[in-house]
Structure 1
Amino acid sequence: MMILLPFFLAIAFAIKWESEGPVFFMQNRWGRGGRMIRIFKFRSMRDDLGDVTGVAQTRKNDPRVTRTGAFLRKTNLDELPQLINILLGDMSLVGPRCHVPGMQAGGMLYEDLVKDYHLRHLVRPGLTGLAQVNGFRGPTDSEDLARGRFNHDIEYIRSFNVWMDIKILAGTLVKEIRGGTGF
């Protein structure tokens, strides 16, 4: 983690240079066993336009996102502080991405839309997951996207093995080197 410190400081400087507000964005999300965890991210949005509920998903060309934030999101560098969550034992490198309580998909609560939604909380949430490397990343504005993400999360839980984690990490790295898919 210490090797990343200069990198973290450079990102922190860029965030503060462009906009007022904290360097980190913290948010309560579902963790293992359905307990709440507080995740850390680099702030990528204007502090004065943030959604305090955390339910409003970021969209392409979202006016809340700063220029620095757009770069951080595109490269997924905004997620790096979640390494702290991993060190704390709240998250792992690979697993279902953690959601904000009250997250919606296609205008419905995930819990109402997807039967057995909370099964995805049987394991620690991950920095990346099977759903993300299979194209189910970003806003879930349709029921199909939400169910697809959930199905990949459950497949990961059922099929978990170290080799799968290595393949997911390698797939994530390749996607990021090729330009990332964040916005």
Structure 2
Amino acid sequence: MSKKPIIVFEGIEGTGKSHHIKNVANYFIKKKIKFIQIREPGGSINSEKIRNLILNNKSTFNKETDLLLYLSARSENIEIIRKNLGKKIILIDRFIDSTIAYQHYGMGVNLKFIQNINNYILKNIKIDFTFLNTVNLTNMKKRLRLRKKLNRYDKFNSKFYEKVQNGFIKILKKKSQKIY
């Protein structure tokens, strides 16, 4: 493992991912540790354009288009990641696990399809640490009500978020089985 790892924060809406990343980033700033911070979708100029399209409340993409837009945003960020790999710590707000949890477990897109495109885009990029934040649905809804503006992904029904969070937990369990 690199001394400059890739650290990902995952979880459904309202779990505190952005809060935790902000705290880690503030710590790195205080300690003068070199890092970059990106989010998905978003992070680069083109990826932010795709983010605005995906999260727009007027967007009504089918599940495959939605997936391909997320993966397009990731593709736009890969050069930033490659450029900083091994040189700076890389903090990412959502990444591969979010795509699988939301698009496969939540929306029913074929898992192999998602994995094949991810593998093609990422090539040799490996995540060093993933932090999964969870929340009960009551607290998630309370936190979402505090937001000034809700996007399309903040407005799904409770059953969807339950499927997605359970998907994250399944992903975590599969990863835990691979650790020796």
TM-score normalised over the length of structure 1: 0.31
More helix by percentage: 2
Q: Bigger relative contact order, structure 1 or 2, given CA contacts below 8 A and separation 6+?
A: 2
TM-score normalised over the length of structure 2: 0.31
